[in-house]
Amino acid sequence: MKVAILGCGAIGGVVARAVRDGEVPGAELVGVVHAERTDPPGLPVLDVEAAIEQADLIVECAGQRALAELGPSIVAAGTDLLVVSVGALADDALLAKLRDTGPGRLHLCSGAIGGLDVLAAAARMGGLSEVRIVTTKKATTLIQKWMDEPAAQRLRTAVEPVELMRAPARAVTAAFPASANVAASVALAVGDWDLVEAAVVADPEAPLTSHVITAEGSAGDYRFEIRNHPSPANPATSGVVPHAVLAAVGRLAAPTGAFA
């Protein structure tokens, strides 16, 4: 399977080098599409048109905006798309374009969290009555462009955890596009954006990024606590995410009896 990587930052760089180095059986790197001033060393660089033409699969690691801008032309050209910035799919029109029109197929990466499979199963079995995700990250990684300077300064100087937002998943993933893709992942897994309540907590001390997911329904009660070390390249991203992407690429490239 010929693979191109869209976005060559903390996630895409690790994914591109691992695929280039043959670490994913059945997958071959054709190149990376990037938006930095200098090319990433040791990686073949393509423009997006060439990536669409040459790749069987484009792996989006570039952010919600890039996915919204470039995703539709990728699937419309018949190239499959694996998405890491799943929060962009809170836009129903974009989701429909990417998922329902093809001919390229849309695949979602579980990214920083797990448990999505059992949540999907439980939602199918009689539905879920409550679903919550509470994300706690190092305060300074949660500063957003829409925050005014006093609000940003409060995060820089916070001495104890502060809850920044608690709202339906759609609103939270839009407000924290680089940090709350996980809220969208849970909503997409259970098939209900309004049911999922998401909260974002800024913790000045947090050495790890945590996601606590709870759900209740007729199938049972669920609680997952995920505590990830931040990526050394981007503290807003967990270091495990590129490896979730590589696992997903591996499943698509060469099905071998692993969990789907």
Ligand X SMILES: NC(=O)c1ccc[n+]([C@@H]2O[C@H](COP(=O)([O-])OP(=O)(O)OC[C@H]3O[C@@H](n4cnc5c(N)ncnc54)[C@H](O)[C@@H]3O)[C@@H](O)[C@H]2O)c1
Catalytic residues: 211
182 lies in the binding site for ligand X (CB under 6 A): yes
122 is in an annotated binding site: no
Q: How far is 20 from 31, CA to CA, in rounded Å?
A: 9
- Three-class DSSP category at 97: helix
Beta carbon of residue 237, minimum distance to ligand X (angstroms, whole number): 3
Beta carbon of residue 84, minimum distance to ligand X (angstroms, whole number): 5
Question: Which residues lie closer than 8 Å to 161 by C-beta, 6 or more apart?
Answer: 136, 201, 202, 203, 204, 206
209 lies in the binding site for ligand X (CB under 6 A): no
17 lies in the binding site for ligand X (CB under 6 A): no
9 lies in the binding site for ligand X (CB under 6 A): yes
Asked whether the beta carbons of 88 and 104 are under 8 A apart, the reply is no
Of 62, 74, 106, 187, the residue at the interface with ligand X (CB under 6 A) is 62
Beta carbon of residue 168, minimum distance to ligand X (angstroms, whole number): 18
**180/217 with CB nearer ligand X:** 180
Beta carbon of residue 242, minimum distance to ligand X (angstroms, whole number): 8
181 is in an annotated binding site: yes
**Measured CA distances, 91 to 7, 28, 173 (Å):** 21, 32, 11
Segment near ligand X (CB under 6 A), from 74-82, 118-126, 177-185, 217-225? Answer: 177-185
Q: How far is 106 from 221, CA to CA, in rounded Å?
A: 30
Sheet strand arrangement including 2-6: 28-33, 2-6, 57-60, 80-83, 106-108
181 lies in the binding site for ligand X (CB under 6 A): yes
**Residue facing ligand X at closest CB distance:** 9
66 lies in the binding site for ligand X (CB under 6 A): yes
Q: Say how many residues touch ligand X, by CB under 6 A.
A: 29
| Cα radius of gyration (the chain) | 18
> What stretches of 77-193 show up as alpha helix (H) in DSSP?
92-100, 116-124, 149-157, 169-175, 181-190
Which residues are part of a known binding site?
Answer: 112, 181
Q: Which residues are annotated as a binding site for NAD(+)?
A: 112, 181
